[in-house]
Chain A
Amino acid sequence: MHRPTTEARPSIYYDYKVHKPWLPSAHATQERKKVVIAGSGPAGMVAALELARHGVPSVIVTSELQVSQGSRAIVFTRRSMEILQQVETADRMTENGLPWRFGNSYYRGQRVFRMEAPHDADDRFFPMLNIQQQYMEEYLLDACAANPLIDLRWGNKVIGVEQEEDFARIEIDTPHGAYTLETEWLVAADGGRSPIRTALNLQMEGASYEGFFVIADIKIDLPLPTERLAYFDPDWNPGNTILMHREPHGIWRVDYQLPAGETPEQALQPESLKARIDAQLAMIGHAGARWEMDWCSVYSARTLTLPDYVHGRVLFTGDAAHLLPIFGVRGANTAFQDAQSLGWHLAFVAKGLATEKLLGNYSAERVGAAREIIEEAGKSTRFMAPPSRGFRLLRDAVLSLSMSEEFVRPLYHWRTSRPHEYTDSVLNSAGDDDALFRSGPAHGAPPQNIRLSADDFLLDHLGGGFELIYFTEAAAIPESLQGVVAAVRARGVPLRVIAVGAVGQVDGADVSLADADGHFRRRYGVQASGAGYLLRPDQHVCARWLTLDATRLQAAFNTALPQ
Chain B
Amino acid sequence: MTATNKALTIPGLETVYDALASAIDEAGADKTELFLVKLALLNANALGHPERFEQHLQAALQDL
Q: Is A397 an interface residue (CB 8 A)?
A: yes
Interface size of A as a range? 10 to 19
User: Interface digits, B20-63 against A, CB 8 Å rule (1 contact, 0 not)?
Assistant: 00000000000001100110111001000000000000000000
In the bound assembly, the distance between CA atoms of A394 and B33 in angstroms comes to 10
Q: Is the CB of B34 within 8 A of A397?
A: yes
Residue of A nearest to B37 (CB): A397
Q: Is the CB of B33 within 8 A of A401?
A: no
Interface size of B as a range? under 10
B42 touches which of A393, A396, A405 (Cβ 8 Å): A405
Q: Is A243 an interface residue (CB 8 A)?
A: no
Residue of A nearest to B46 (CB): A407
Min distance, Cβ B29 to any Cβ of chain A, angstroms: 15
Q: Is the CB of B38 within 8 A of A397?
A: yes
Which residues of B lie under 8 Å from residue A397 when comparing CB positions?
34, 37-38, 40-41
B45 touches which of A393, A394, A400, A407 (Cβ 8 Å): A407
In the bound assembly, the distance between CA atoms of A398 and B41 in angstroms comes to 8
In the bound assembly, the distance between CA atoms of A436 and B34 in angstroms comes to 50
Q: Is A408 an interface residue (CB 8 A)?
A: yes
In the bound assembly, the distance between CA atoms of A408 and B42 in angstroms comes to 9
In the bound assembly, the distance between CA atoms of A397 and B35 in angstroms comes to 7
Min distance, Cβ A84 to any Cβ of chain B, angstroms: 40
Which residues of A lie under 8 Å from residue B42 when comparing CB positions?
401, 405
State which residues 3-29 of B face A: CB under 8 Å.
none
Which residues of A lie under 8 Å from residue B41 when comparing CB positions?
394, 397-398, 401, 408
Which residues of B lie under 8 Å from residue A405 when comparing CB positions?
42, 45
Which residues of A lie under 8 Å from residue B38 when comparing CB positions?
397, 400-401
Of B37, B40, B42, most buried by chain A (CB within 10 Å of CB) is B37
In the bound assembly, the distance between CA atoms of A397 and B38 in angstroms comes to 5
In the bound assembly, the distance between CA atoms of A396 and B41 in angstroms comes to 12
Which residues of A lie under 8 Å from residue B40 when comparing CB positions?
397
Which residues of B lie under 8 Å from residue A393 when comparing CB positions?
33-34, 37
State which residues 399-426 of A face B: CB under 8 Å.
400-401, 405, 407-408
10 more A-B contacts (CB under 8 A) besides A393-B33, A400-B34? Answer: A393-B34, A393-B37, A394-B41, A396-B37, A397-B34, A397-B40, A397-B41, A398-B41, A401-B41, A407-B45
Min distance, Cβ A13 to any Cβ of chain B, angstroms: 43
Min distance, Cβ B38 to any Cβ of chain A, angstroms: 5
Which residues of A lie under 8 Å from residue B45 when comparing CB positions?
405, 407
Residue of B nearest to A408 (CB): B41
In the bound assembly, the distance between CA atoms of A228 and B40 in angstroms comes to 31
In the bound assembly, the distance between CA atoms of A397 and B39 in angstroms comes to 9
In the bound assembly, the distance between CA atoms of A378 and B33 in angstroms comes to 24
Min distance, Cβ A115 to any Cβ of chain B, angstroms: 21
State which residues 173-215 of A face B: CB under 8 Å.
none
In the bound assembly, the distance between CA atoms of A400 and B40 in angstroms comes to 13
In the bound assembly, the distance between CA atoms of A397 and B36 in angstroms comes to 9
Residue of B nearest to A401 (CB): B38
In the bound assembly, the distance between CA atoms of A250 and B37 in angstroms comes to 42
**22 A-B pairs in the complex with CB atoms less than 8 angstroms apart:** A393-B33, A393-B34, A393-B37, A394-B37, A394-B41, A396-B34, A396-B37, A397-B34, A397-B37, A397-B38, A397-B40, A397-B41, A398-B41, A400-B34, A400-B38, A401-B38, A401-B41, A401-B42, A405-B42, A405-B45, A407-B45, A408-B41
Which residues of B lie under 8 Å from residue A394 when comparing CB positions?
37, 41
In the bound assembly, the distance between CA atoms of A452 and B37 in angstroms comes to 52
Which residues of B lie under 8 Å from residue A398 when comparing CB positions?
41
Min distance, Cβ B26 to any Cβ of chain A, angstroms: 15
Residue of A nearest to B31 (CB): A400
Residue of B nearest to A400 (CB): B38
In the bound assembly, the distance between CA atoms of A405 and B41 in angstroms comes to 11
Min distance, Cβ B21 to any Cβ of chain A, angstroms: 20
Residue of B nearest to A407 (CB): B45
Residue of B nearest to A396 (CB): B34
Residue of B nearest to A406 (CB): B45
Min distance, Cβ B40 to any Cβ of chain A, angstroms: 8
Min distance, Cβ A407 to any Cβ of chain B, angstroms: 5
In the bound assembly, the distance between CA atoms of A194 and B58 in angstroms comes to 44
Which residues of A lie under 8 Å from residue B33 when comparing CB positions?
393
In the bound assembly, the distance between CA atoms of A270 and B54 in angstroms comes to 48
Question: Which 7 A-B pairs rank lowest in CB-CB distance, beginning with the nearest?
Answer: A397-B37, A397-B38, A393-B37, A407-B45, A401-B38, A396-B34, A393-B33
